[in-house]
Amino acid sequence: MGKVDIKELFYNMQQEMIFNLKTLDAVTHSGTKGEATEDSWLDFFKTYLPKRYKSDKAIVIDHEGNTSDQIDIVVYDRQYCPMVFEHNSAKYIPAESVYAVFEVKQVLNSSHLTYASNKAKSVRNLKRTSADIYHAGGVQKGNPPKSIIAGILTTRCDWKDGMNSTSLYSNLKKNEESVIEIGCSLDAGTFTFENSKFQSSTKDESLIYFFIQFHEMLRKKGTVTALDILAYASALDSIEMLIKKIDR
């Protein structure tokens, strides 16, 4: 029976991603570079996350028609999500289906952390429904929606001390309502900030550490709350009588 070097497999994955993003440094147009960087990160998520998760640039919506800001990467459930809307090339994803949101920037610094926090807040402020789950054994009451993970992804870091910067830690502490729980800067490392506990990796294992930690965060979330499709359908005039009938 043969053996494979798992550490080498992880490092190869990281080097491929770093190479793709470093190649973009030659792009001079900031808008083009930004879109290409987002696409590279999206490709990474689509390649390495389990297929139960989908990743897209999107706007998140709730059943009242409220919307988030446009989010660079939304990680969401597609297996149990009955609908994803597209309109004028924009994708709209129900808030109940969202596991995580990420902002993609070239550089990790205070202003970009605040920007990512505000984007996360625009998603977390949306109203989420919860429907009962029917199964062979009966009916399970719908669970309250779980918190949505928020993160930031960059190529470089402005702080000399990288993930050990006191500025990084203080910026995470001041954004409690819209906390960024995970961030990866390929040149500096990855940090996690869960339940006020800060952890970080070396720069040599930035992407590997990010992949493992984010996968573990997703595992702890389990499956998203069942979406109440009738709450969304109430926007349709023809569905109003059906909802009243079901309520009786």
- Going by the DSSP 8-state scheme, the letter that residue 41 receives in this structure is H
Write out the catalytic residue numbers: 72, 103, 105
Distance of alpha carbon 209 from alpha carbon 202, whole angstroms: 9
Distance of alpha carbon 84 from alpha carbon 134, whole angstroms: 22
Q: Which two tokens mark 112?
A: 């970009």
Q: Which two tokens mark 42?
A: 């999206």
Beta pairing partners, 157: 108
Q: What is the 3-state secondary structure (H, E, C) of 179-234?
A: CCCEEEECCCEEEEEECCEEEECCHHHHHHHHHHHHHHHHHHHCCCCCCCHHHHHC
Choose among 122, 101, 97, 239: nearest CA to 177.
Answer: 122
Choose among 93, 92, 220, 45: nearest CA to 147.
Answer: 220
Distance of alpha carbon 150 from alpha carbon 99, whole angstroms: 9
